[in-house]
Homo-oligomer: A and B are copies of this chain.
Amino acid sequence: MIRITKQTDYGIVLLTHLAGAPERHVNAPELAGETHLPLPMVSKILKILVREGLLASHRGVKGGYSLSRPPGAISMAEVVTALEGPIAITECIDDNGGCEHSTACAVRGRWHRINTALREALAGISLAEMTDAPRPEPKLVTLGGRPALAITA
């Protein structure tokens, strides 16, 4: 199914929620309550996001978390990378020789086209864009038509 993990899913929900009211310190239980996500999971994810530099934390009483940067300056690619590691749909990251089949593989090196396509897709969406909900969903289902994507390489 090419799924992201629930960690990442939750992480994005949390970040999106925080993006709605930046400059506000929120603690873990509060955040869990507002997003209806299990507290331990929320806590775990927040710690990761702090370590990866996407969130700033403040300890002690009245402590909490807040975005380390404005929502517009955080891309989905960063978020996913922080929570899942390098963005690559296949085993063979890049065109290095880390793959066991490398010598005999027909698609060797071809894959990163798809990988970069995905990377760029994620890099093109900022956290802010996940929050603002002005447009009323202009019927965007267009699968099957000519792809609007120009893969440079």
CB of A126 to closest CB in B, whole Å:
10
Indicate if A143 sits at the interface (CB-CB under 8 A): yes
Shortest A73–chain B CB gap in Å is 14
Q: Hey, which chain B residues are within 8 Å of A120, CB to CB?
A: 143, 147-149
Interface residues of A in 16-34 (CB under 8 A from B): 16-17, 20
**A125 and B151 alpha carbons, distance in the complex (Å):** 9
Interface membership of A152, Cβ < 8 A: yes
A56 at the interface (CB under 8 A from B): no
> Would you call A63 an interface residue if the criterion is a C-beta within 8 Å of the partner chain's C-beta atoms?
no
What DSSP secondary structure best describes chain A's contact surface? loop
Interface size band for A:
35 or more
- Which residues of B have CB within 8 Å of A148? 120, 150, 152
Contact B104 A35 (CB under 8 A): yes
* Interface check A55, CB cutoff 8 A: no
- A61 at the B interface (CB under 8 A): no
CB distance from A145 to the nearest CB of B (A): 9
A153 touches B138 (CB 8 A): yes
Interface residues in chain A, defined as those with a beta carbon under 8 Å from any beta carbon in chain B: 1-4, 6, 9, 12-13, 16-17, 20, 35-37, 76-77, 80, 84-91, 95, 101, 104-107, 109-110, 112-114, 116-125, 129-131, 133, 137-138, 140-144, 147-153
